[in-house]
């Protein structure tokens, strides 16, 4: 029997969760063995779970959204005040004040000529909206038959059926099959290892050529869009070469294929710029965003495009009930104001580079580490069971390192062959230093236990 009221509450919460939660993306066996993890409180970069354990959250929550940490009073107040004043104004032509000012602010921050914003409630809806926008633009301009979309191996663009049709990652390929017709995939650049053992630059060139060949194969008049994340999350922070995205931009322009850049995970400061596209000097035709936009304080996403594309549509036939929700937009306005005022994005670039260097120094030489890479405050340690062949672990070694770090009080994530670290932008140097130390300790211990040292 639990000895205290708190212990009873925590047991009640866990058993309620077992009974009534349809857990997503986690095997039932893992829920049974590790239990549900219920966060009851958060402050800054720390969370407290239902068993009273305090953890350093170096993932900005499991979805990398909480870019300003927990318990931010300024954002909470902005939401509260907006809820009292005008919480929700409807859709179509009916806007609210923070929705209008947020769109204008994002237009100021976004790369190139991106100027028109359509709000949605998250990343998957942003993908759906982007694909529909691309198709409607093509139907109204020079390529009325274009309906096909090309995506990339390992891409993740969301969980709704349209977004799944351009998604490959997370073992979800079989769910949408047979997927919406006209969706195909090309190779994606990968750091450290690729299927042909090519150099990183050669493989990136190969991937860009693959896109061009696929457009020709599908028929340029039939291809509406190509969708890509500027930096892919799959297998840990896959930063492409600068020339890859520039070649992709040229190819899309040459064939009248709209370039949709998915900044859902990279946007709003994660990589040390407002948007990752800026690192590569490219202007997307359509850009999606969500997650860190509202720092996780409200469900919010958006799609942007330039005037010429928006103006080509007599009417954009697309609507979601909660598009541009006033309280969510008020949260995002506060989030952007804080990031600007505190200089958090240049700071992410600076402290992120130092953290990356410290992490590499502490772990790159360890026997099971193949590569350490990152940009801004987004980093990955890629593991291998053989430094010569760069072979991946097919057992649970990567997850074991993540579990060990959690036992030591630091939350990071396993992502395929790698471990990912994506702290809130307010993270302190002391938290980053602790993460480096805990990461090195966990890798060393797991390697030793498994006879891999």
| Omega of the bond leading into 311 within 30 degrees of 0 (cis) | no
321, two tokens: 């009930």
The binder of ligand PLP chosen from 42, 123, 189, 424 (CB under 6 A) = 123
Q: Applying CB under 6 A, which of residues 156, 203, 244, 255 lies at the interface with ligand PLP? A: 156
Q: Stretches 81-89, 152-160, 275-283, 311-319: which one binds ligand PLP (CB under 6 A)?
A: 152-160
Smallest distance, Å, CB 124 to ligand PLP? 3
What is the smallest separation between the CB atom of 388 and ligand PLP, expressed in angstroms? 32
Nearest distance from C-beta of residue 324 to ligand PLP, angstroms: 16
d(CA 312, CA 322): 25
Is the Cβ of residue 269 or residue 370 nearer to ligand PLP in the bound state? 269
Considering only residues 57, 262, 285, 371, which one is a binding residue for ligand PLP as defined by CB under 6 A? 262
| Interface with ligand PLP in residues 289-308 (CB under 6 A) | 290
Sign of the torsion angle spanned by Cα atoms 199, 191, 164, 299:
negative
Assign 7 to helix, strand or coil.
helix
Q: Is 158 in the site for ligand PLP (CB under 6 A)?
A: yes
> What minimum distance in Å lies between the beta carbon of 44 and ligand PLP?
23
Q: How far is CA 63 from the centre of its chain?
A: 7
157 binds ligand PLP per the rule CB under 6 A = yes
Q: Long-range contacts of range 2-10, CB-CB < 8 Å, 24 or more positions apart?
A: 6/52, 9/50, 10/38, 10/50, 10/51, 10/52
Minimum separation from the CB atom of position 5 to ligand PLP (A): 36
Cβ 43 to ligand PLP, closest distance in Å?
Answer: 24
For residue 238, give the DSSP letter: B
Question: For the window 40-69, what string marks contact with ligand PLP as x by the rule CB under 6 A?
Answer: -----------------------x------
Residue ranges in 188-247 that form contacts with ligand PLP under rule CB under 6 A: 229, 233
- Sorted by sequence, the CB contacts under 8 Å of residue 37 that are 6+ apart come out as 49, 50
* Residues 329 and 300: beta-carbon distance below 8 Å: yes
Q: Are strands 418-421 and 39-43 parallel, antiparallel or unpaired?
A: unpaired
309 binds ligand PLP (CB under 6 A): no
SS3 sequence, 200-226?
HHHHHHHHHHHHHHHHHHHCHHHEEEE
Select the span of 89-97, 117-125, 278-286, 426-434 touching ligand PLP (CB under 6 A). Answer: 117-125
Distance CA 252, CA 275 (A): 20
Q: Which is nearer to ligand PLP, 152 or 157 (CB)?
A: 157
CA-nearest of 24, 223, 212 to 124 is 24
Contact indicator for 424, 270 with CB cutoff of 8 Å: no
Give contact residues for ligand PLP (rule: CB under 6 A): 63, 122-124, 127, 156-159, 229, 233, 262, 264-265, 290
């Amino acid at each position: 029997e639990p000895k205290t009221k708190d212990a009873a509450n925590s047991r009640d919460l866990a058993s309620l969760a077992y009974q009534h939660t349809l857990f997503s993306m986690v095997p039932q066996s893992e829920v049974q063995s590790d239990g549900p993890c219920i966060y009851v409180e958060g402050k800054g970069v720390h969370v407290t779970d239902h068993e009273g354990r305090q953890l350093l959250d170096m993932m900005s929550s499991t979805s990398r959204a909480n870019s300003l940490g927990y318990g931010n009073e300024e954002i909470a107040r902005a939401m509260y005040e907006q809820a009292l004043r005008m919480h929700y104004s409807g859709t179509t032509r009916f806007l609210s004040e923070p929705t209008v000012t947020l769109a204008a602010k994002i237009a100021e921050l976004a790369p190139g000529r991106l100027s028109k914003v359509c709000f949605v409630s998250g990343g998957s809806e942003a993908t759906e909206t982007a694909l529909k926008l691309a198709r409607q633009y093509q139907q109204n301009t020079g390529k009325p038959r274009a309906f096909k979309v090309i995506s990339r191996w390992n891409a993740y663009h969301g969980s709704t059926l349209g977004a799944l049709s351009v998604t490959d990652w997370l073992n979800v390929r079989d769910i949408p099959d047979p997927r919406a017709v006209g969706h195909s995939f090309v190779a994606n650049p990968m750091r450290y290892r690729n299927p042909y053992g090519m150099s990183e630059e050669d493989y990136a060139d190969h991937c860009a050529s693959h896109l061009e060949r696929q457009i020709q194969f599908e028929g340029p008049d039939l291809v509406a869009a190509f969708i890509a994340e500027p930096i892919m999350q799959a297998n840990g922070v896959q930063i492409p070469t600068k020339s890859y995205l520039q070649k992709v931009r040229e190819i899309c322009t040459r064939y009248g294929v709209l370039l949709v850049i998915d900044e859902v995970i990279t946007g709003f400061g994660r990589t040390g710029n407002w948007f990752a596209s800026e690192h590569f000097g490219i202007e997307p035709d359509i850009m999606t965003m969500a997650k860190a936009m509202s720092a996780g304080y409200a469900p919010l996403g958006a799609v942007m495009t330039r005037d010429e594309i928006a103006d080509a549509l007599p009417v954009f036939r697309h609507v979601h009930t909660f598009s541009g929700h006033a309280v969510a937009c008020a949260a995002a306005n506060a989030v952007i104001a804080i990031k600007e005022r505190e200089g958090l994005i240049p700071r992410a670039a600076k402290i992120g580079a130092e953290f990356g260097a410290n992490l590499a120094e502490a772990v790159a030489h360890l026997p099971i580490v193949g590569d350490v890479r990152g940009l801004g405050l987004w980093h990955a340690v890629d593991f291998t069971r053989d430094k010569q062949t760069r072979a991946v672990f097919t057992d649970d070694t990567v997850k074991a390192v993540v579990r060990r770090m959690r036992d030591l009080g630091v939350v990071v994530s396993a992502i395929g062959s790698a471990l990912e670290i994506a702290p809130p932008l307010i993270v302190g140097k002391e938290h980053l230093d602790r993460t480096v130390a805990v990461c090195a300790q966990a890798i060393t211990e797991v390697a030793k236990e498994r006879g891999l040292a």
